[in-house]
Each structure stands twice: as C-alpha cells, then as structure tokens.
A and B are shown apart, each in its own frame.
Chain A
C-alpha cells in the first residue's frame, strides 16, 4: 500500500519518490493543498474500490496514517 500511495502522491505534487517517508506530512512536508489531498483520495477510491468519508479523511496528516486508514477500509 505504501508503494502504491507513493506513486499516486507524485501525480499531485512535485516530490521525488525517495523523499516520501511514512512519517511525511502531506501539507507541511510534501506541499499538498487541501484540495490536492481531496482529489488524490478520489483517485484512491477508484483504485482501491473503497468509499472514503470526507470527515474522517480530514483527520489524516501523514502518509502512514493514510496507509493505515486505507488498509482498514480495504479489509472491511
């Protein structure tokens, strides 16, 4: 999941894949805007065939938190 997310992240912000770490914060470290982040979640919904709740997703700050949240959804 981490590798998959890394690929998608590079479609939204200009960052080298090796600079993306589990502890990277989307806005502070990777330069996401709130709208980039929402758009990326939309793409992930299709890729993983899950339904993401906007309110829940708003609490995600780091790449690892996103991996955990998406893995949980995939298992449901």
Chain B
C-alpha cells in the first residue's frame, strides 16, 4: 500500500503489528531488548506533544546521534507533529554542526551524549537554538524540573532530558501532516564546496519507502548498519522497515557488525559497496570450505538479501555472494530523490544495471545525463535558490550521472558529469571544499583533490619561492603537516590519506582552471 505521509506509515504499522517487536537493540554484550510498534507510536507521539508544549511545533529540530530507538522516536515525533527534522552526521566536527544548525534555522537540538562536545558549542555559537535535549540524560541529572508549567522559563543552558520531557509533557497526538509539507532537511555535499540542505516532504519520503512492493514478508528481520542520518538508511531501513512491519535491529557499532549479524540473525541488510567488498575478502579467504558453514559463520543462519546502494558496486560481487545463497540487489539513488531512483529485484534483475526505475519515477537522458522526475524529487535546497534552479530544471532533477535507460526501464551508469567524489561507503565529497581548505595554507600554491584507489588524494604544487624564502627544506613534510592539520578538523569521510607533491604547475584549461581529467 502506498502511503503519502510518514504518519500514515507509522499508524498503519501500529494498527497491524501493535505489540510485535519494531526495534531490537543491545543493552549488554549479548542481551537484546525490544520495543513494540505500540511503544514506537506512543513514544514518538509523546515527543510531538513535547514540541507543542515547548512552543516549537512546526519549527526545525536537529537530531544527532548513532542509530538508536530514541533517535527514531525523536525523528518520528518531530515530523509527525508538522515540525521539520534536520538529521545530522554524528561524526561532524562540532564547529560544522553549529554552522549547519545556524544555516538550517534550527531551534531545538536533540543530541546523543557521544556528541556532548557539540551540545556545549551549540550553547555558545547558535543563538537561535532554544532547547538542547539529551537522548540519555535521566530525571536525576537533568534540569527538566525547572521547566515547571511554563515553557518560557527554560533557557538553553539547561540540560534537558528527552525521556523526562516525554514523561512530563507527553500524550496522544492526532496532528495530521499534509503530504506535500516539508518534513526533513538533509545535508549533502555540493559541487560548489558548500553542503546543501535537501528539502524533502512527507510525500517524497513516504512514497519512496512504500511505492515498490519488494515481496518481503512482514516480520522480516533487518539489521540496520548504515548511518541513520543518510537518506538511504532513513528511508529504506527505517521507514520501509516500519511500513512492512519488519523487526529493525540496531547495529550499535561498525566494530561489532560481524558479531551483531550472528546475534540478531537478520534476513536482510542494506549495505554500501565498501562493506560488501570487505565481506567478500572473508568469503574469498574461506574458498574451498563448505558454503553452508561459511555462510553461518560470516552472516548468521538467515541472511538471504543484501541491498546495495550509496555508490556503484562491481557486479562480480553478485556471483560471489550467490554461491552462499545471498542475493545482492544493487540500487541507485541520491538524497535529492528521497533517495531511491531504481533498484534490482530478487525476481527481476540485470547484473550490469543499477536497477529498474521505481514506480513513482520517470527518467530521460539529456546530453548523456540522466534526469528524473516523480513524487520523490525534492522541493529544492534550503535557502539556495540558484542551486535549486540549476538542479531542478523544468521539474526534472539533474542527477549529474551519465548513463542510459533501456527498454525495460533499467538504468545503466557510464560516468559522472558533476565533479563530485562518491566514496565506496556512499559518502559524497566535494573536491573543491577540500581544495579550498588546503589552499588556505600559504605553502600551497595549487591543489587538486581526487579519489585514487578508494581513498582521497591531494596533489599539491607548492609555492617553491615561499618555501625558499622561509628556509623550508623538507617541503613534503611541511605539506603533510598542512594535511594533518586539516584532517584533525574534518569529518572522517573527508580526510585526505595520500599526498603527491608536484614539481611543475598543473596544466590549465583556456579559462585558467586546473584540468581535472
């Protein structure tokens, strides 16, 4: 059944699956706790009421943290109250978190205690943020009692607790969001170097999650291993998982993914190519051993499907995993399309393709570039009218990917038009953003950033005259120091891991830009 709002997804699932487990998570090393669909609806509605009580209903609420039941409750409570959720990358440096909060006009900041550093900085650098709410704090160590009966009494320097607020001010919420109202702003790297806030409506996300029948039975056990602030995880693990009445298991850390596969015994996992390639190495090492035993050891008893997205996966992986009874379904998408554009299906796939167009998507090819249109295409970029105009020409979303669509509506990719690095773990990285940062160092005269063998490389032409004047003998060491300093202040997926030092200037285009290819 196609749902047009996230509230419809949650309410339908709760009516159908009530007391059944919705989310399972680890509480101790090998101990699993669970929350039901009834719990999930009630806890999220409590938070909707909290936002109303605080006078923040309809405002922007940022959520930062690892995947958790509280994160999901905060997200669902926010969007189902007609407020706008701004999910943020848990690994972002605190200063960048503050910058995004200010740019997205956030007034409420919900954070996981692992990002206490960000919460502290928000108090100083984000004048619009009125409430800072911890996901873990309890009644004993929070300042919620200070709220009294008046929301106005609260200042942002108080330590509020998500669960305490829910307990004191929660309740039933029957607000019905409009399908075409904005519900989520997700930041994605832009080619201009400044990250862009993709504006997604309820319809964008809900129809993307529910328009395709993948013939998955209810109570399918999913292990959610991708970062929850990514559109792929949010839409396909969480929203689609809820719509199907699945059991969503929380992988508490990438460090423990192998152990968690055996603990939760999932039927299906969404992954990015980097994860699949790492698992492939394990399978190759075990070649010659009985397939059944290897599968049990590596993936647990029940795994039958891996959905791959975020970046292109080499199709040879499909055959390798098939030998162990696991089907890999490669898909394709982008945050701007909430995010899935196409996917292969267990009963209908073409190995070299990134899948068949979703039922709610149309595509065409213009100058070799794939353009898409449909109910999942974003409203635009938040407060970036120029970039929005460029991306959404005549209602068609420019994907920046080169390729073609065959007679069966399967998409084949051949390259990229836009200058954007898509890493194997599905992160978009703007080379210009890194180049601009590195260029701030006086020693760097020209710099080009690109991906090489799966890692980000910077090729630098130093200012040799400056080095001479300053008596710098080991230029390479000095440049490595520039990179180390940059790496210390940036998100993990934007770190530069290889340095090449040039002796001559870069070749230039007629407009004096460095030739990229």
Contact = CB atoms under 8 A, between A and B. Distances in A.
B258 A39 contact: yes
A33 B276 CA distance: 12
Interface in B35-91: 91
A55 B274 contact: no
B255 A57 contact: yes
Interface residues of A, number: 20
Contacts of B114: 55
Contacts of A39: 254-255, 257-258, 278
Among A12, A27, A33, A43, max chain B CB count under 10 A is at: A33
Nearest to A36: B278
A43 B498 CA distance: 27
Nearest to A13: B281
Contacts of A46: 259
A35 B255 contact: no
**DSSP class of A's interface residues: helix, strand, loop or mixed?**
helix
Among A28, A46, A57, max chain B CB count under 10 A is at: A28
Among A35, A38, A55, A57, max chain B CB count under 10 A is at: A35
B253 interface: yes
Given A34-B274, A36-B278, A55-B114, A27 B497 contact: yes
**DSSP class of B's interface residues: helix, strand, loop or mixed?**
helix
Nearest to A29: B497
B274 A33 contact: yes
B181 interface: no
Interface in B244-286: 253-259, 274-275, 277-278, 281, 285
A11 B91 CA distance: 28
B259 A42 contact: yes
Given A42-B255, A45-B255, A35 B497 contact: no
B91 A58 contact: yes
Given A33-B424, A45-B255, A58 B492 contact: yes
Interface of A: 11-12, 27-28, 33-36, 38-39, 41-43, 45-46, 52, 54-55, 57-58
11 contacts: A11-B285, A33-B278, A35-B274, A35-B425, A38-B253, A38-B257, A42-B257, A45-B256, A54-B254, A57-B255, A58-B91
